[in-house]
Structure 1
Amino acid sequence: MAAKLLQSLGLAAALLAAPAAQAEDIKQQTVYTLSFSGIKIADAVFNTTVADGKYNINADIEAAGIGNLFTSIAVKVDADGLWKNGKPETREFQLIYRDGDYARDYAATFSNKRVTKSTIEPDPGPRADNWVEVKPKHLRNVIDPVTALLLPPSNNPCATTVSIFDGETRLELEMASAGSRPFSTKGFSGRAIGCAVRFKPVAGYERKDEDIEYLANSRELVVWFAYNEELNVFAPVMAHIPLKIGRLTIYASKFGLPR
Protein backbone atom coordinates (compact mmCIF):
# COMPACT_ATOMS: atom_id res chain seq x y z
CA MET A 1 0.00 0.00 0.00
CA ALA A 2 2.91 2.35 0.64
CA ALA A 3 3.84 1.89 -3.00
CA LYS A 4 0.31 2.77 -4.13
CA LEU A 5 0.44 5.94 -2.03
CA LEU A 6 3.77 6.86 -3.57
CA GLN A 7 2.13 6.36 -6.96
CA SER A 8 -0.94 8.50 -6.34
CA LEU A 9 -0.04 11.02 -3.65
CA GLY A 10 3.55 11.54 -4.63
CA LEU A 11 2.30 12.58 -8.04
CA ALA A 12 0.10 15.18 -6.44
CA ALA A 13 3.16 17.29 -5.66
CA ALA A 14 3.42 18.73 -9.15
CA LEU A 15 3.93 22.11 -10.75
CA LEU A 16 1.25 22.49 -13.33
CA ALA A 17 -0.20 24.65 -16.05
CA ALA A 18 -0.73 28.32 -16.80
CA PRO A 19 -3.69 30.38 -17.99
CA ALA A 20 -4.41 30.37 -21.70
CA ALA A 21 -4.06 34.14 -21.62
CA GLN A 22 -0.28 33.74 -21.54
CA ALA A 23 0.89 34.80 -24.99
CA GLU A 24 4.28 33.11 -24.87
CA ASP A 25 5.09 29.44 -24.51
CA ILE A 26 6.17 28.45 -21.01
CA LYS A 27 8.54 25.65 -20.12
CA GLN A 28 9.29 25.02 -16.48
CA GLN A 29 10.77 22.35 -14.27
CA THR A 30 10.21 21.48 -10.64
CA VAL A 31 12.28 18.89 -8.79
CA TYR A 32 11.12 17.20 -5.62
CA THR A 33 12.97 15.08 -3.09
CA LEU A 34 10.97 12.29 -1.46
CA SER A 35 12.10 10.97 1.89
CA PHE A 36 10.71 8.26 4.14
CA SER A 37 11.17 8.76 7.89
CA GLY A 38 14.09 11.10 7.19
CA ILE A 39 15.81 8.87 4.60
CA LYS A 40 15.88 10.01 0.98
CA ILE A 41 14.22 7.46 -1.26
CA ALA A 42 13.57 9.28 -4.54
CA ASP A 43 13.88 12.30 -6.78
CA ALA A 44 10.90 13.40 -8.83
CA VAL A 45 11.34 15.63 -11.88
CA PHE A 46 8.25 17.36 -13.31
CA ASN A 47 8.46 19.17 -16.66
CA THR A 48 5.60 21.45 -17.63
CA THR A 49 4.93 22.97 -21.05
CA VAL A 50 2.16 25.48 -21.76
CA ALA A 51 1.37 26.64 -25.30
CA ASP A 52 -1.73 27.77 -27.21
CA GLY A 53 -4.11 27.21 -24.29
CA LYS A 54 -2.91 23.65 -23.73
CA TYR A 55 -0.64 22.13 -21.13
CA ASN A 56 1.49 19.01 -20.88
CA ILE A 57 3.17 17.59 -17.80
CA ASN A 58 5.59 14.71 -17.87
CA ALA A 59 7.26 13.35 -14.78
CA ASP A 60 9.71 10.70 -13.66
CA ILE A 61 9.99 9.32 -10.15
CA GLU A 62 12.52 6.67 -9.17
CA ALA A 63 12.73 5.34 -5.61
CA ALA A 64 15.63 3.40 -4.15
CA GLY A 65 14.83 0.33 -2.08
CA ILE A 66 14.75 0.38 1.73
CA GLY A 67 14.75 -3.21 2.91
CA ASN A 68 11.32 -4.70 2.29
CA LEU A 69 9.48 -1.36 2.34
CA PHE A 70 10.26 -0.10 -1.17
CA THR A 71 11.82 -2.06 -4.02
CA SER A 72 13.16 0.16 -6.79
CA ILE A 73 9.85 1.85 -7.54
CA ALA A 74 9.70 3.75 -10.83
CA VAL A 75 6.81 5.95 -11.98
CA LYS A 76 6.41 7.77 -15.28
CA VAL A 77 3.46 10.02 -15.92
CA ASP A 78 2.16 12.10 -18.78
CA ALA A 79 -0.85 14.43 -18.60
CA ASP A 80 -2.36 16.64 -21.29
CA GLY A 81 -5.21 19.10 -21.05
CA LEU A 82 -6.78 22.45 -21.81
CA TRP A 83 -6.98 25.62 -19.77
CA LYS A 84 -10.61 26.76 -19.73
CA ASN A 85 -11.98 29.76 -17.83
CA GLY A 86 -8.87 29.96 -15.67
CA LYS A 87 -8.94 26.28 -14.67
CA PRO A 88 -7.17 23.17 -15.96
CA GLU A 89 -9.22 20.48 -17.65
CA THR A 90 -7.65 17.06 -18.20
CA ARG A 91 -7.85 15.37 -21.59
CA GLU A 92 -5.37 12.49 -21.41
CA PHE A 93 -3.58 10.86 -18.50
CA GLN A 94 -1.12 7.97 -18.48
CA LEU A 95 0.82 6.45 -15.63
CA ILE A 96 3.42 3.70 -15.92
CA TYR A 97 4.20 2.06 -12.58
CA ARG A 98 6.93 -0.43 -11.72
CA ASP A 99 7.62 -1.91 -8.28
CA GLY A 100 10.21 -4.67 -8.61
CA ASP A 101 8.54 -7.34 -10.75
CA TYR A 102 5.12 -5.73 -10.34
CA ALA A 103 4.02 -3.72 -13.39
CA ARG A 104 0.89 -1.70 -14.08
CA ASP A 105 0.06 0.79 -16.85
CA TYR A 106 -2.90 3.08 -16.22
CA ALA A 107 -4.55 5.32 -18.81
CA ALA A 108 -7.63 7.52 -18.78
CA THR A 109 -9.33 9.82 -21.27
CA PHE A 110 -11.36 12.78 -20.02
CA SER A 111 -13.95 15.03 -21.65
CA ASN A 112 -15.71 17.90 -19.89
CA LYS A 113 -14.43 16.62 -16.53
CA ARG A 114 -15.82 13.14 -17.16
CA VAL A 115 -13.82 9.97 -17.66
CA THR A 116 -14.80 8.53 -21.02
CA LYS A 117 -12.35 5.63 -21.08
CA SER A 118 -9.88 4.00 -18.71
CA THR A 119 -7.61 0.97 -19.00
CA ILE A 120 -5.25 -1.00 -16.78
CA GLU A 121 -2.59 -3.28 -18.28
CA PRO A 122 -2.14 -6.08 -17.56
CA ASP A 123 -5.80 -6.63 -16.72
CA PRO A 124 -6.04 -7.09 -12.93
CA GLY A 125 -8.76 -9.72 -13.39
CA PRO A 126 -11.59 -10.44 -10.94
CA ARG A 127 -11.49 -8.36 -7.78
CA ALA A 128 -11.92 -9.64 -4.24
CA ASP A 129 -15.25 -9.35 -2.46
CA ASN A 130 -13.99 -6.36 -0.45
CA TRP A 131 -13.23 -4.34 -3.61
CA VAL A 132 -15.25 -1.13 -3.96
CA GLU A 133 -16.20 -0.92 -7.63
CA VAL A 134 -15.90 2.31 -9.61
CA LYS A 135 -19.31 3.19 -11.01
CA PRO A 136 -20.23 5.72 -13.73
CA LYS A 137 -21.36 8.24 -11.11
CA HIS A 138 -17.83 8.26 -9.69
CA LEU A 139 -16.35 9.39 -13.01
CA ARG A 140 -18.03 12.79 -13.21
CA ASN A 141 -16.40 16.10 -12.25
CA VAL A 142 -12.97 14.57 -11.74
CA ILE A 143 -9.40 15.46 -12.61
CA ASP A 144 -6.18 13.47 -12.86
CA PRO A 145 -3.82 13.27 -9.85
CA VAL A 146 -1.11 15.37 -11.48
CA THR A 147 -3.35 18.30 -12.31
CA ALA A 148 -5.30 17.94 -9.07
CA LEU A 149 -3.32 20.21 -6.76
CA LEU A 150 -3.15 23.27 -8.93
CA LEU A 151 -4.84 25.98 -6.88
CA PRO A 152 -5.98 29.25 -8.47
CA PRO A 153 -5.08 32.39 -6.50
CA SER A 154 -7.63 33.54 -3.94
CA ASN A 155 -7.84 34.76 -0.35
CA ASN A 156 -8.14 31.13 0.78
CA PRO A 157 -6.93 28.69 -1.90
CA CYS A 158 -7.29 25.81 0.60
CA ALA A 159 -11.06 26.11 0.83
CA THR A 160 -11.75 23.39 -1.73
CA THR A 161 -12.36 19.70 -2.32
CA VAL A 162 -10.45 18.01 -5.13
CA SER A 163 -11.98 14.98 -6.87
CA ILE A 164 -9.39 12.66 -8.43
CA PHE A 165 -9.34 9.59 -10.68
CA ASP A 166 -5.95 8.02 -11.38
CA GLY A 167 -7.03 5.26 -13.78
CA GLU A 168 -8.05 2.89 -11.00
CA THR A 169 -8.93 4.70 -7.79
CA ARG A 170 -11.48 7.45 -7.24
CA LEU A 171 -10.71 9.62 -4.22
CA GLU A 172 -11.34 13.06 -2.78
CA LEU A 173 -9.02 15.45 -0.99
CA GLU A 174 -10.95 17.72 1.36
CA MET A 175 -8.79 20.75 2.13
CA ALA A 176 -8.79 23.48 4.76
CA SER A 177 -6.41 26.28 5.73
CA ALA A 178 -3.49 25.37 8.01
CA GLY A 179 -1.74 28.75 8.21
CA SER A 180 1.43 29.95 6.51
CA ARG A 181 5.19 29.77 7.01
CA PRO A 182 8.43 31.05 5.44
CA PHE A 183 9.76 28.84 2.66
CA SER A 184 12.86 29.13 0.49
CA THR A 185 14.26 26.92 -2.21
CA LYS A 186 15.91 27.28 -5.60
CA GLY A 187 13.46 29.45 -7.56
CA PHE A 188 11.36 30.72 -4.65
CA SER A 189 11.71 32.69 -1.43
CA GLY A 190 8.68 33.90 0.48
CA ARG A 191 5.74 32.44 2.36
CA ALA A 192 4.03 29.15 1.71
CA ILE A 193 0.42 28.47 2.64
CA GLY A 194 -0.52 25.22 4.35
CA CYS A 195 -3.56 23.13 3.51
CA ALA A 196 -4.69 20.42 5.89
CA VAL A 197 -5.92 17.56 3.72
CA ARG A 198 -8.44 14.84 4.50
CA PHE A 199 -7.94 11.75 2.35
CA LYS A 200 -11.28 10.21 1.40
CA PRO A 201 -11.31 7.02 -0.72
CA VAL A 202 -14.49 6.73 -2.77
CA ALA A 203 -14.09 3.72 -5.09
CA GLY A 204 -11.48 1.56 -6.77
CA TYR A 205 -9.86 0.30 -3.57
CA GLU A 206 -10.07 -2.56 -1.08
CA ARG A 207 -12.48 -1.93 1.77
CA LYS A 208 -10.93 -2.28 5.24
CA ASP A 209 -7.40 -1.97 3.86
CA GLU A 210 -5.39 -1.05 6.96
CA ASP A 211 -3.14 1.47 5.21
CA ILE A 212 -6.01 3.26 3.49
CA GLU A 213 -7.99 3.40 6.72
CA TYR A 214 -4.95 4.76 8.55
CA LEU A 215 -4.51 7.60 6.06
CA ALA A 216 -8.25 8.30 5.87
CA ASN A 217 -8.39 8.65 9.66
CA SER A 218 -5.24 10.77 9.92
CA ARG A 219 -5.30 14.46 10.78
CA GLU A 220 -1.60 14.91 9.94
CA LEU A 221 -1.68 15.18 6.14
CA VAL A 222 -0.58 18.72 5.21
CA VAL A 223 0.46 20.14 1.83
CA TRP A 224 2.27 23.49 1.55
CA PHE A 225 1.85 25.66 -1.55
CA ALA A 226 3.90 28.54 -2.97
CA TYR A 227 2.71 31.13 -5.46
CA ASN A 228 4.24 31.02 -8.93
CA GLU A 229 3.92 34.55 -10.27
CA GLU A 230 4.60 33.70 -13.90
CA LEU A 231 2.01 30.94 -13.99
CA ASN A 232 -0.44 32.65 -11.61
CA VAL A 233 -1.06 29.51 -9.56
CA PHE A 234 -0.33 28.07 -6.13
CA ALA A 235 1.62 24.84 -6.53
CA PRO A 236 2.91 22.35 -3.94
CA VAL A 237 6.38 22.83 -2.48
CA MET A 238 6.18 20.45 0.48
CA ALA A 239 3.95 17.69 1.81
CA HIS A 240 3.93 15.44 4.86
CA ILE A 241 2.06 12.19 4.22
CA PRO A 242 1.51 9.93 7.25
CA LEU A 243 1.74 6.20 6.57
CA LYS A 244 1.24 3.37 9.01
CA ILE A 245 4.92 2.43 8.61
CA GLY A 246 6.31 5.98 8.83
CA ARG A 247 6.06 9.39 7.21
CA LEU A 248 6.61 10.29 3.56
CA THR A 249 7.90 13.83 3.01
CA ILE A 250 7.98 15.60 -0.35
CA TYR A 251 10.12 18.73 -0.66
CA ALA A 252 10.72 21.00 -3.67
CA SER A 253 14.47 21.44 -4.15
CA LYS A 254 13.80 23.38 -7.38
CA PHE A 255 10.56 25.24 -7.99
CA GLY A 256 9.20 26.39 -11.34
CA LEU A 257 12.46 27.39 -13.04
CA PRO A 258 12.93 27.47 -16.81
CA ARG A 259 14.37 24.31 -18.31
Structure 2
Amino acid sequence: MAPVAASAQGRLEARYEASLAGIQVGKGSWVIDISDDQFSASASGGSTGLLKAVAGGSGTSAAQGRMVNGQFAPVNYTATLTTDKKSETIRIQLTGGSVKESSIEPEPEPTPERIPVTEAQRHGVVDPMTGSLVRVPGTADPVGPEACKSNAAIFDGRMRYDLRLDYKRLETVSAKGYQGPVVVCAIAFRPIAGYVPDRPAIKYLIAQRNMEVWLAPIAGTRVLVPYKVLVPTPVGMAALEATQFVSTATVRTTAKTQ
Protein backbone atom coordinates (compact mmCIF):
# COMPACT_ATOMS: atom_id res chain seq x y z
CA MET A 1 0.00 0.00 0.00
CA ALA A 2 1.27 3.45 -0.90
CA PRO A 3 0.92 6.50 1.38
CA VAL A 4 -2.67 7.70 1.68
CA ALA A 5 -4.03 10.64 -0.30
CA ALA A 6 -5.63 13.38 1.81
CA SER A 7 -8.52 15.61 0.77
CA ALA A 8 -10.27 18.38 2.68
CA GLN A 9 -13.94 18.36 3.51
CA GLY A 10 -16.25 20.36 5.72
CA ARG A 11 -19.32 19.93 7.89
CA LEU A 12 -21.82 22.51 9.12
CA GLU A 13 -24.29 22.17 11.97
CA ALA A 14 -26.45 25.29 12.22
CA ARG A 15 -29.58 26.43 14.00
CA TYR A 16 -31.80 29.28 12.90
CA GLU A 17 -34.62 31.45 14.19
CA ALA A 18 -37.26 32.99 11.95
CA SER A 19 -38.93 36.27 12.88
CA LEU A 20 -41.50 38.66 11.46
CA ALA A 21 -41.41 42.29 12.56
CA GLY A 22 -39.11 41.24 15.38
CA ILE A 23 -41.43 38.51 16.68
CA GLN A 24 -40.13 34.94 16.61
CA VAL A 25 -42.29 32.74 14.41
CA GLY A 26 -40.13 29.66 13.80
CA LYS A 27 -37.00 27.64 14.50
CA GLY A 28 -34.99 25.25 12.37
CA SER A 29 -31.74 23.37 11.90
CA TRP A 30 -29.44 22.65 8.97
CA VAL A 31 -26.70 20.03 8.56
CA ILE A 32 -24.37 20.03 5.54
CA ASP A 33 -21.56 17.60 4.68
CA ILE A 34 -19.21 18.35 1.78
CA SER A 35 -16.29 16.29 0.49
CA ASP A 36 -14.30 16.23 -2.73
CA ASP A 37 -16.69 13.86 -4.49
CA GLN A 38 -20.10 14.17 -2.79
CA PHE A 39 -22.33 16.34 -0.63
CA SER A 40 -25.48 16.11 1.44
CA ALA A 41 -27.69 18.67 3.15
CA SER A 42 -30.75 18.32 5.35
CA ALA A 43 -32.94 20.86 7.12
CA SER A 44 -35.96 20.82 9.40
CA GLY A 45 -38.05 23.47 11.06
CA GLY A 46 -41.42 24.49 12.38
CA SER A 47 -43.54 27.41 13.50
CA THR A 48 -43.35 28.68 17.06
CA GLY A 49 -45.14 31.10 19.36
CA LEU A 50 -48.22 32.91 18.12
CA LEU A 51 -47.81 31.60 14.58
CA LYS A 52 -47.90 28.02 15.83
CA ALA A 53 -51.16 28.74 17.67
CA VAL A 54 -52.71 30.34 14.57
CA ALA A 55 -51.28 28.25 11.73
CA GLY A 56 -48.98 25.53 12.96
CA GLY A 57 -46.68 23.86 10.47
CA SER A 58 -43.42 21.99 10.10
CA GLY A 59 -41.20 20.87 7.27
CA THR A 60 -38.13 18.93 6.27
CA SER A 61 -35.95 18.96 3.18
CA ALA A 62 -32.87 17.09 2.04
CA ALA A 63 -30.57 16.99 -0.97
CA GLN A 64 -27.75 14.65 -1.97
CA GLY A 65 -25.42 14.68 -4.90
CA ARG A 66 -21.90 14.54 -6.27
CA MET A 67 -19.12 17.08 -6.59
CA VAL A 68 -17.97 17.27 -10.23
CA ASN A 69 -14.95 19.45 -10.97
CA GLY A 70 -15.64 21.30 -7.75
CA GLN A 71 -19.27 22.03 -8.67
CA PHE A 72 -22.47 20.73 -7.09
CA ALA A 73 -24.28 18.07 -9.13
CA PRO A 74 -27.50 17.24 -7.23
CA VAL A 75 -29.07 13.80 -7.63
CA ASN A 76 -31.99 13.67 -5.18
CA TYR A 77 -34.15 16.26 -3.41
CA THR A 78 -37.08 15.67 -1.07
CA ALA A 79 -39.21 18.21 0.81
CA THR A 80 -42.19 17.61 3.07
CA LEU A 81 -44.49 20.30 4.45
CA THR A 82 -47.10 19.49 7.08
CA THR A 83 -49.76 21.88 8.37
CA ASP A 84 -52.98 21.50 10.32
CA LYS A 85 -54.84 21.14 7.02
CA LYS A 86 -52.59 19.01 4.82
CA SER A 87 -49.26 17.28 4.23
CA GLU A 88 -47.34 17.47 0.95
CA THR A 89 -44.17 15.75 -0.25
CA ILE A 90 -42.11 16.88 -3.23
CA ARG A 91 -39.50 14.58 -4.79
CA ILE A 92 -37.03 15.48 -7.55
CA GLN A 93 -34.44 13.28 -9.24
CA LEU A 94 -31.76 14.99 -11.30
CA THR A 95 -28.95 13.90 -13.56
CA GLY A 96 -26.41 16.11 -15.29
CA GLY A 97 -28.25 19.27 -14.25
CA SER A 98 -31.57 18.11 -15.68
CA VAL A 99 -34.74 16.96 -13.97
CA LYS A 100 -35.12 13.25 -14.61
CA GLU A 101 -38.31 12.84 -12.60
CA SER A 102 -40.39 14.91 -10.18
CA SER A 103 -43.60 14.37 -8.22
CA ILE A 104 -45.89 16.04 -5.69
CA GLU A 105 -47.88 13.84 -3.32
CA PRO A 106 -50.77 14.09 -3.06
CA GLU A 107 -51.07 15.34 -6.62
CA PRO A 108 -52.39 18.93 -6.50
CA GLU A 109 -55.53 20.05 -8.26
CA PRO A 110 -54.77 21.60 -11.67
CA THR A 111 -54.59 25.39 -11.80
CA PRO A 112 -55.44 26.65 -15.30
CA GLU A 113 -53.82 30.04 -14.64
CA ARG A 114 -50.45 28.46 -13.82
CA ILE A 115 -47.79 28.88 -16.52
CA PRO A 116 -46.67 25.32 -17.37
CA VAL A 117 -43.03 24.29 -17.00
CA THR A 118 -41.70 23.11 -20.36
CA GLU A 119 -39.27 20.25 -20.83
CA ALA A 120 -36.56 22.70 -21.89
CA GLN A 121 -37.01 24.61 -18.62
CA ARG A 122 -36.24 21.45 -16.65
CA HIS A 123 -32.65 21.44 -17.94
CA GLY A 124 -29.71 23.34 -16.48
CA VAL A 125 -31.27 23.58 -13.02
CA VAL A 126 -30.67 22.67 -9.39
CA ASP A 127 -33.03 22.02 -6.50
CA PRO A 128 -33.72 24.75 -3.87
CA MET A 129 -31.39 23.23 -1.27
CA THR A 130 -28.45 22.93 -3.63
CA GLY A 131 -29.23 26.39 -4.98
CA SER A 132 -28.54 27.87 -1.54
CA LEU A 133 -24.94 26.55 -1.51
CA VAL A 134 -22.51 28.99 -3.11
CA ARG A 135 -19.09 27.70 -4.15
CA VAL A 136 -16.60 30.49 -4.83
CA PRO A 137 -13.93 29.68 -7.46
CA GLY A 138 -10.30 30.71 -7.24
CA THR A 139 -7.84 30.83 -4.36
CA ALA A 140 -8.62 34.21 -2.74
CA ASP A 141 -10.67 34.58 0.43
CA PRO A 142 -14.13 33.27 -0.54
CA VAL A 143 -15.87 35.81 1.74
CA GLY A 144 -15.83 38.66 -0.75
CA PRO A 145 -17.61 40.25 -3.72
CA GLU A 146 -16.92 37.23 -5.94
CA ALA A 147 -19.45 35.20 -3.93
CA CYS A 148 -22.25 37.49 -5.08
CA LYS A 149 -21.66 36.71 -8.75
CA SER A 150 -23.72 33.56 -8.29
CA ASN A 151 -26.88 33.07 -10.34
CA ALA A 152 -29.03 30.02 -9.56
CA ALA A 153 -31.57 28.42 -11.91
CA ILE A 154 -33.92 26.56 -9.56
CA PHE A 155 -36.74 24.04 -9.99
CA ASP A 156 -38.58 23.32 -6.74
CA GLY A 157 -40.95 20.65 -8.03
CA ARG A 158 -43.63 23.15 -8.91
CA MET A 159 -42.00 26.38 -10.04
CA ARG A 160 -38.97 27.24 -12.17
CA TYR A 161 -37.29 30.50 -11.17
CA ASP A 162 -33.95 32.33 -11.14
CA LEU A 163 -32.20 33.92 -8.17
CA ARG A 164 -29.58 36.54 -9.02
CA LEU A 165 -27.14 37.84 -6.41
CA ASP A 166 -25.36 41.22 -6.45
CA TYR A 167 -22.67 42.40 -4.05
CA LYS A 168 -23.67 44.97 -1.42
CA ARG A 169 -21.15 45.00 1.44
CA LEU A 170 -19.22 43.06 4.08
CA GLU A 171 -20.45 42.66 7.67
CA THR A 172 -19.13 41.03 10.85
CA VAL A 173 -21.37 38.62 12.76
CA SER A 174 -21.23 36.64 15.97
CA ALA A 175 -23.10 33.44 16.83
CA LYS A 176 -22.28 30.26 18.68
CA GLY A 177 -19.56 28.60 16.61
CA TYR A 178 -18.71 31.52 14.31
CA GLN A 179 -17.45 35.05 14.79
CA GLY A 180 -16.20 36.69 11.67
CA PRO A 181 -16.98 38.26 8.30
CA VAL A 182 -19.94 37.58 6.04
CA VAL A 183 -20.62 38.90 2.57
CA VAL A 184 -24.00 40.54 1.99
CA CYS A 185 -25.66 40.07 -1.40
CA ALA A 186 -28.84 41.56 -2.79
CA ILE A 187 -31.34 38.96 -4.06
CA ALA A 188 -33.40 39.39 -7.22
CA PHE A 189 -36.22 36.90 -7.86
CA ARG A 190 -37.36 36.16 -11.42
CA PRO A 191 -40.07 33.54 -12.00
CA ILE A 192 -39.81 31.61 -15.26
CA ALA A 193 -42.68 29.11 -15.21
CA GLY A 194 -44.87 27.05 -12.91
CA TYR A 195 -46.44 30.07 -11.22
CA VAL A 196 -49.69 32.04 -11.35
CA PRO A 197 -48.83 35.55 -12.63
CA ASP A 198 -51.71 37.33 -10.87
CA ARG A 199 -50.85 36.10 -7.39
CA PRO A 200 -49.95 39.05 -5.12
CA ALA A 201 -47.04 37.22 -3.45
CA ILE A 202 -45.36 36.61 -6.83
CA LYS A 203 -45.84 40.23 -7.90
CA TYR A 204 -44.44 41.43 -4.58
CA LEU A 205 -41.30 39.28 -4.79
CA ILE A 206 -40.64 40.35 -8.38
CA ALA A 207 -40.83 44.01 -7.38
CA GLN A 208 -38.65 43.68 -4.27
CA ARG A 209 -35.24 45.38 -4.40
CA ASN A 210 -34.31 45.13 -0.71
CA MET A 211 -33.99 41.38 -0.14
CA GLU A 212 -30.62 40.30 1.25
CA VAL A 213 -28.70 37.12 1.99
CA TRP A 214 -25.68 37.15 4.32
CA LEU A 215 -23.26 34.36 3.37
CA ALA A 216 -20.82 32.71 5.80
CA PRO A 217 -18.13 30.07 5.04
CA ILE A 218 -18.06 26.36 5.81
CA ALA A 219 -14.60 25.61 7.21
CA GLY A 220 -12.36 23.49 5.00
CA THR A 221 -14.26 24.37 1.81
CA ARG A 222 -14.83 27.26 -0.58
CA VAL A 223 -18.56 27.02 0.03
CA LEU A 224 -20.65 29.79 1.57
CA VAL A 225 -24.19 29.33 2.87
CA PRO A 226 -26.87 31.67 4.21
CA TYR A 227 -26.22 32.97 7.72
CA LYS A 228 -29.09 35.44 7.51
CA VAL A 229 -31.87 36.16 5.01
CA LEU A 230 -33.90 39.40 5.08
CA VAL A 231 -37.14 39.90 3.13
CA PRO A 232 -39.22 43.06 3.64
CA THR A 233 -42.98 42.41 3.87
CA PRO A 234 -46.00 44.71 4.17
CA VAL A 235 -46.21 43.88 7.90
CA GLY A 236 -42.51 44.17 8.75
CA MET A 237 -39.17 42.55 8.06
CA ALA A 238 -39.10 38.77 7.71
CA ALA A 239 -35.77 37.39 8.86
CA LEU A 240 -34.06 34.02 9.14
CA GLU A 241 -30.85 34.21 11.19
CA ALA A 242 -28.39 31.69 12.57
CA THR A 243 -28.13 31.36 16.33
CA GLN A 244 -25.57 28.56 15.97
CA PHE A 245 -23.15 28.15 13.07
CA VAL A 246 -20.61 25.44 13.84
CA SER A 247 -18.47 24.30 10.91
CA THR A 248 -15.47 22.01 11.04
CA ALA A 249 -12.82 21.07 8.50
CA THR A 250 -11.74 17.46 8.49
CA VAL A 251 -9.40 15.38 6.38
CA ARG A 252 -10.50 12.19 4.70
CA THR A 253 -7.74 9.74 3.83
CA THR A 254 -7.94 7.23 1.03
CA ALA A 255 -5.41 4.43 0.65
CA LYS A 256 -3.85 4.04 -2.77
CA THR A 257 -2.60 0.73 -4.16
CA GLN A 258 0.64 0.70 -6.05
| TM band (smaller chain) | 0.7 to 0.9
Match of 1:88 among 34, 57, 72: 72
Match of 1:156 among 121, 146, 152: 146
Asked if 2 retains the 8 angstrom alpha-carbon contact of 1:211 and 1:243, the reply is: no
**Which residue in the other structure is 1:40 paired with?**
24
Q: Which has the higher contact order (CA 8 A, sep 6+)?
A: 2
Deviation for aligned residue 1:255: 1.2
Give, in whole Å, the separation in 2 of the partners of 1:116 and 1:73: 30
Amino acid at match of 1:117: E
Match of 2:62 among 78, 87, 93: 78
Match of 2:89 among 91, 100, 105: 105
The reply to whether residue 124 of structure 1 matches residue 108 of structure 2 is yes
Match of 2:219 among 223, 229, 235: 229
**Which residue in the other structure is 1:179 paired with?**
169
Deviation for aligned residue 1:64: 2.4
Query: Structure 1 vs Structure 2: percent identity of aligned residues?
Result: 24
Give, in whole Å, the separation in 2 of the partners of 1:233 and 1:25: 10
Give, in whole Å, the separation in 1 of the partners of 2:6 and 2:156: 28
Give, in whole Å, the separation in 2 of the partners of 1:112 and 1:201: 22
Deviation for aligned residue 1:193: 0.7
**Which residue in the other structure is 1:204 paired with?**
194
**Which residue in the other structure is 2:139 paired with?**
none
Match of 2:130 among 132, 135, 147: 147
Partner SS for 1:211: helix
Give, in whole Å, the separation in 2 of the partners of 1:200 and 1:69: 33
Asked if 2 retains the 8 angstrom alpha-carbon contact of 1:25 and 1:52, the reply is: yes
The reply to whether residue 248 of structure 1 matches residue 238 of structure 2 is yes
Deviation for aligned residue 1:39: 0.8
TM-score, with normalisation over the residues of structure 2? 0.85
**Which residue in the other structure is 1:9 paired with?**
none
Amino acid at match of 1:135: T
Any unmatched runs of 5+ in structure 2?
A: 137-141, 249-258
Deviation for aligned residue 1:27: 4.1
Give, in whole Å, the separation in 2 of the partners of 1:47 and 1:175: 23
Mean CA deviation greater in 225-234 or 186-195: 225-234
Deviation for aligned residue 1:58: 1.6
Mean CA deviation greater in 241-250 or 73-82: 241-250
Match of 1:133 among 108, 111, 116: 116
Asked if 2 retains the 8 angstrom alpha-carbon contact of 1:238 and 1:252, the reply is: yes
Deviation for aligned residue 1:139: 0.8
**Which residue in the other structure is 2:253 paired with?**
none
Amino acid at match of 1:101: K
Deviation for aligned residue 1:81: 0.5
Give, in whole Å, the separation in 2 of the partners of 1:61 and 1:214: 25
Deviation for aligned residue 1:244: 3.7
TM-score, with normalisation over the residues of structure 1? 0.84
Deviation for aligned residue 1:25: 6.4
Amino acid at match of 2:105: E
User: Whose strand proportion is higher, 1 or 2?
Assistant: 2
Deviations 1:114-172 (A, max 9, x none): 001000011113213x2111111111111111111222235511012111111111111
Amino acid at match of 1:73: G
Deviations 1:149-203 (A, max 9, x none): 2222355110121111111111111111011111111121121111101111111
Match of 2:178 among 172, 188, 192: 188
**Which residue in the other structure is 2:251 paired with?**
none
Deviation for aligned residue 1:92: 0.2
Task: State how many pairs are aligned.
Answer: 237
Deviation for aligned residue 1:70: 6.0
